[in-house]
Chains A and B, each alone.
Chain A
């Protein structure tokens, strides 16, 4: 399988662990990613706040470069591992296709630089979708040599992979489950995580820290309530906010959360038996080692079935256990 690949600025440095683990996992699954030559920043959520047309042109340059790249294969699909990049690429693709006026203006700008983009000619996909839809759960399960038994995972999707769903999204915008399923295939225990699609605060950590810290606290608290050993994420912004600002949350609220925030590809790599070093472990602010030490060689025992009370007994709750 072959795809175009748009890493985005975060994966070059701050989310280097995501990039390394994605590459290692792709290698194991025989996927080839062809990086878009000389791509530029997608503008995050900032450019569109200042000036709309240049913001679309900025993203469209990447789409134009990707559409020229013949070796992408697979009907010219472009993979973005960062949810913000994914959203910006999809949004530009979608709105250009929807509004001929916008498409014409963006193309006039692109032509000044000798480029052109035919809206919709590139299909934008998120890395998680490639691994769950195209590769598939069974093919992933087959590669597992070191299952993550006994590791309790809170699956965190964040916003932009599930909302608003510009193109071909198959996720439920409020309660998606594909990451849950993927983690189960690795042998991990997936805890219920009702806030799985809540916001990490985005750029609010920079603009109004208290607002962001409260959003981050909720995500950490919910995972702690369900006794998760780690939160698994698929977006560099989510990872950075939950990991890098966890100490700030603890200071601000007098809490003591120590929950490592890991990329889903890092856990896939571990379960595939790839060395942690190759997967970017050690880059996280909250040390992942104590959580990883909980992984056991044997699957957790199924809880014993309760003995049925005798038929003639009164219908009372059975309170003898654990008392």
Chain B
């Protein structure tokens, strides 16, 4: 099986190959799914998903690229790994959900899903990490919530105040000493990722 998968990695010809190629690390076994439905039945977010993981994998197999990338399913995945330990075929479901998120962002297809704020949350989070080497909760909360939930931000302000009063949130971000080194590493990784995705490997 792995021989077949690595062959397909070299030249992604169909959507399923694209998804496999976009999942670095071990072989995700996506082509081994037997549609048993164990994943959907195990999923805490199942009721909120437009498609259960099983349905999504059938759609991938059928080449329904746009419907898959516009589905809210990957964005409602909370990364609990229940499906992955229960899947009889060792399909790396959680990893595939991450791949689908990245592909949706790249294709600009997430805006219409009901989890449209999720990519921006992730992006705001990593902006701070790239700038300081550490995450920064106050910055994240203010920038993200003011943009997306201006009304909710008032409620969040109460929560944030509670965090500050308990000494559980910093007012200023912490910067690591090797931030220049980290930036160089990440820049190189981005280049490599962009290169290899062109020929079907990497990210």
> Inside 8 A of B188's CB, which chain A residues have their CB?
57, 108-109, 112-113
| B185 to chain A: closest residue by CB | A113
| B123 and A50 contacting across the interface, CB-CB below 8 Å | yes
Nearest-CB residue, chain B, relative to A205: B159
Q: How many residues of B contact A (CB 8 A)?
A: 67
Known contacts: A51-B193, A101-B201. The answer to whether A204 contacts B78 by CB under 8 A is: yes
In whole angstroms, how far apart are the Cα atoms of A160 and B133 in the complex? 23
Interface residues of A in 102-128 (CB under 8 A from B): 102, 105-106, 108-110, 112-115
Bound Cα distance A244, B125 (Å)? 20
Is A28 interfacial (CB 8 A cutoff)?
no
Contact B80 A199 (CB under 8 A): yes
Q: Does B44 contact A (CB under 8 A)?
A: yes
- A49-B101, A53-B203, A215-B44 known; A58 and B186 CB under 8 Å? yes
**B98 surroundings in chain A (CB, below 8 A):** 48-49, 52
Determine if A40 and B134 form an interchain contact, defined as CB atoms under 8 angstroms apart. yes
Asked if B176 and A58 make an inter-chain contact with CB atoms under 8 angstroms apart, the answer reads: no
Do residues A105 and B115 form an inter-chain contact, with CB atoms below 8 A? Answer: no
Does residue B105 face the partner (Cβ distance < 8 Å to A)? yes
Q: Does A170 belong to the interface (CB within 8 Å)?
A: no
Q: Report whether A41 and B135 are in contact in the complex, using a CB–CB cutoff of 8 Å.
A: yes
- Of the candidate stretches A9-17, A177-185, A310-318, the one touching chain B is A9-17
Of B75, B177, B203, most A-chain CB atoms within 10 Å: B203
Please pick, from B84, B137, B185, the residue contacting A163 in the complex, using a CB distance under 8 A.
B84
Tally of A-B residue pairs with Cβ under 8 A? Answer: 205
> B11-19, B32-40, B57-65, B166-174: which one contacts chain A?
B166-174
Q: How far is the CA of A49 from the CA of B95 in the complex (A)?
A: 10
* Assembled-state Cα–Cα distance A99/B2 (Å): 12
B154 interface hit (Cβ, 8 Å): no
Q: Is A203 an interface residue (CB 8 A)?
A: yes
The A211-231 residues at the B interface (CB cut-off 8 A) are: 211, 215
A-B pairs, 6 with minimum CB distance: A95-B25, A53-B193, A163-B81, A109-B189, A52-B203, A112-B188
15 other A-B residue contacts (CB within 8 Å) besides A47-B122, A164-B94: A41-B135, A45-B79, A47-B125, A49-B101, A51-B193, A52-B24, A52-B202, A53-B192, A53-B193, A58-B185, A98-B26, A108-B188, A203-B78, A207-B115, A283-B168
6 chain-A/chain-B pairs, Cβ below 8 angstroms:
A14-B163, A41-B133, A49-B102, A53-B203, A56-B24, A199-B82
